[in-house]
């Protein structure tokens, strides 16, 4: 029994340290209470494993409270606190909007087509099993997992499809521009379908560790971020023009905007059981300007089409079970983000795949003369 108590004490000490550090950074009542409970638990566990003088426990008095009882009660309280702070499960079933099967009954393009992926880990599919990222699902549906999407895939409408993956985990927009500069031009008989997610890591990096700077805006004020936002806009324009040059046979770029894991609240410090990110008071206007920049870029360039990833993920972030949140989805309260908060989980990727496909239907089918 003493070994078990010692083991529990060893587990509790790191949690106490983390809670104490978090409490100094963010004075929310829940974290202060959890830190106090954790401290009480450490003391109680320590009392249970100490060896009294003479090797025998002191006689119990009628008003005594066993340290073991205190420790177990503290553990129960901490378990409740962790349960309250942990996001819920991702849910089950189809995620996101429905996709009609009719547009996939005939080819959209008979000649060679390259599906080119550019950008960050969202376009890599980080956080999902192989074959379950949005690009993989766009290319070939996993029928046994998503039976409602059977036949709704790019391989059905682009018979001569080739996939070229150039997205890289953890990258920012300056690096995406560098990737494009090194990309060789495609043959003149090849049409390009480009899926791109860029800018999200510019916002989230460097997680509040260090002073914000271009490409790592976390913690910046809105005023401080304005020149970096302007540079991002110019960079997007250059990249869209470069993509057009790389595909002399024509192309369509599907450019996604940036989602918000806080469900439009802006309390990023509440993410996860420990709230591992510091508060960022001016995150919302900076995030909003990034998305306005992406929308303006799509409006400016005829070959660029906005994919509204932001809207489809609303209501499925850290407030997905909050009925008072304006984006609360009564039909599906699933949490669609991976454990790292930056990337979707598999249901999130399913939803994103659907908005990409619906935009492609709009571009390649609905706009046909």
For the domain that residue 140 is a member of, what is the CATH number?
3.40.50.1110
Regarding whether 139 and 191 lie in a shared domain, the answer is: yes
How would residue 62 be classed by pLDDT, with cut points 50, 70 and 90?
very low
Regarding whether 241 and 286 lie in a shared domain, the answer is: yes
Average pLDDT in the chain: 86
Regarding whether 156 and 15 lie in a shared domain, the answer is: no
* Assigned domain for 95 exists: no
In percent, the amount of the chain with pLDDT more than 90 equals: 69
The answer to whether 183 touches 246, Cβ cutoff 8 Å, is yes
Question: Would you say residue 28 has pLDDT above 70?
Answer: no
Question: Would you say residue 251 has pLDDT above 50?
Answer: yes
How would residue 26 be classed by pLDDT, with cut points 50, 70 and 90?
very low
CA torsion through residues 50, 52, 53, 55, sign = negative
How would residue 74 be classed by pLDDT, with cut points 50, 70 and 90?
low
Q: Give me the helix-helix angle, 2-25 and 29-49, nearest 10°.
A: 150
Regarding whether 356 and 266 lie in a shared domain, the answer is: yes
* Assigned domain for 61 exists: no
How would residue 7 be classed by pLDDT, with cut points 50, 70 and 90?
very low
The answer to whether 212 touches 220, Cβ cutoff 8 Å, is yes
* Assigned domain for 59 exists: no
Return the pLDDT at 269.
84
Question: Would you say residue 284 has pLDDT above 50?
Answer: yes
- Strand pairing partners for 213? 216
Return the pLDDT at 108.
96
Return the pLDDT at 23.
46
Regarding whether 116 and 81 lie in a shared domain, the answer is: no
DSSP 107-124: -S--S-EEEEEEESHHHH
How would residue 1 be classed by pLDDT, with cut points 50, 70 and 90?
very low
- Mean per-residue pLDDT for 203-209? 93
- What are the two backbone dihedrals, phi and then psi, of residue 261, each rounded to the nearest 5 degrees? -65, -10
- Mean per-residue pLDDT for 243-251? 98
How would residue 63 be classed by pLDDT, with cut points 50, 70 and 90?
very low
- Mean per-residue pLDDT for 276-289? 93
Domain count of the chain?
2
Regarding whether 192 and 136 lie in a shared domain, the answer is: yes
Domain that holds residue 238: 102-366
How would residue 25 be classed by pLDDT, with cut points 50, 70 and 90?
very low
Regarding whether 251 and 153 lie in a shared domain, the answer is: yes
Q: How many CB atoms lie within 10 A of CB 231?
A: 15
Return the pLDDT at 64.
47
Regarding whether 123 and 23 lie in a shared domain, the answer is: no
* Assigned domain for 96 exists: no
- Mean per-residue pLDDT for 247-259? 98
How would residue 101 be classed by pLDDT, with cut points 50, 70 and 90?
very high
Span 78-98, pLDDT tens digits:
666 566 666 778 889 999 999
Return the pLDDT at 76.
65
Return the pLDDT at 241.
98
- Mean per-residue pLDDT for 291-304? 98
Regarding whether 281 and 174 lie in a shared domain, the answer is: yes
* Assigned domain for 94 exists: no
Q: How many CB atoms lie within 10 A of CB 276?
A: 15
Span 320-354, pLDDT tens digits:
988 999 999 999 999 999 988 899 999 999 999 99
- Strand pairing partners for 125? none
Neighbouring residues of 369: CB distance < 8 A, sequence distance ≥ 6 = none
- Which alpha helices (H) appear in 116-193, and where do they start and end? 121-124, 134-139, 154-157, 173-182
Q: Give this prediction's pTM.
A: 0.81
């Amino acid at each position: 029994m003493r070994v078990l108590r010692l083991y529990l004490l060893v587990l509790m000490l790191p949690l106490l340290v983390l809670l104490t550090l978090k409490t100094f950074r963010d004075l929310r009542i829940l974290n202060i209470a959890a830190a106090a409970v954790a401290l009480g638990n450490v003391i109680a566990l320590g009392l249970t494993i100490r060896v009294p003088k003479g090797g025998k426990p002191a006689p119990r008095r009628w008003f005594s409270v066993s340290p073991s009882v205190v420790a177990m009660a503290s553990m129960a309280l901490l378990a409740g606190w962790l349960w309250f702070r942990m996001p819920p499960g991702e849910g089950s079933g189809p995620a996101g909007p429905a996709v009609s099967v009719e547009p996939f009954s005939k080819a959209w393009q008979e000649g060679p087509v390259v599906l080119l992926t550019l950008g960050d880990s969202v376009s890599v599919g980080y956080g999902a099993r192989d074959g379950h990222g949005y690009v993989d699902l766009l290319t070939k549906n996993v029928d046994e997992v998503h039976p409602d999407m059977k036949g709704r895939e790019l391989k059905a409408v682009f018979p001569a499809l080739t996939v070229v993956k150039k997205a890289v985990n953890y990258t920012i927009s300056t690096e995406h521009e560098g990737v494009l500069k090194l990309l060789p031009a495609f043959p003149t008989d090849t049409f390009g379908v480009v899926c791109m997610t860029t800018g999200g890591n510019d916002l989230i990096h460097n997680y509040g560790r260090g002073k914000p700077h271009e490409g790592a805006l976390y913690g910046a004020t809105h005023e401080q971020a304005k020149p970096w936002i302007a540079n991002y806009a110019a960079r997007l324009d250059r990249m869209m023009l470069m993509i057009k040059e790389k595909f002399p046979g024509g192309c369509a770029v599907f450019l996604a905007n940036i989602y918000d894991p806080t469900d439009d609240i802006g309390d990023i410090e509440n993410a996860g059981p420990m709230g591992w990110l510091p508060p960022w008071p001016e995150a919302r206007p900076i995030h909003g300007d990034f998305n306005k920049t992406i929308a303006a870029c799509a409006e400016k360039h005829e070959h660029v089409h906005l994919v509204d990833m932001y809207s489809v993920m609303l209501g499925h972030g850290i407030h997905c079970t909050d009925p008072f949140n304006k984006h609360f989805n009564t039909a599906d309260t699933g949490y669609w983000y991976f454990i790292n908060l930056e990337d979707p989980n598999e249901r999130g990727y399913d939803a994103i795949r659907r908005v990409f496909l619906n935009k492609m239907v709009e571009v390649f089918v609905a706009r046909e003369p």
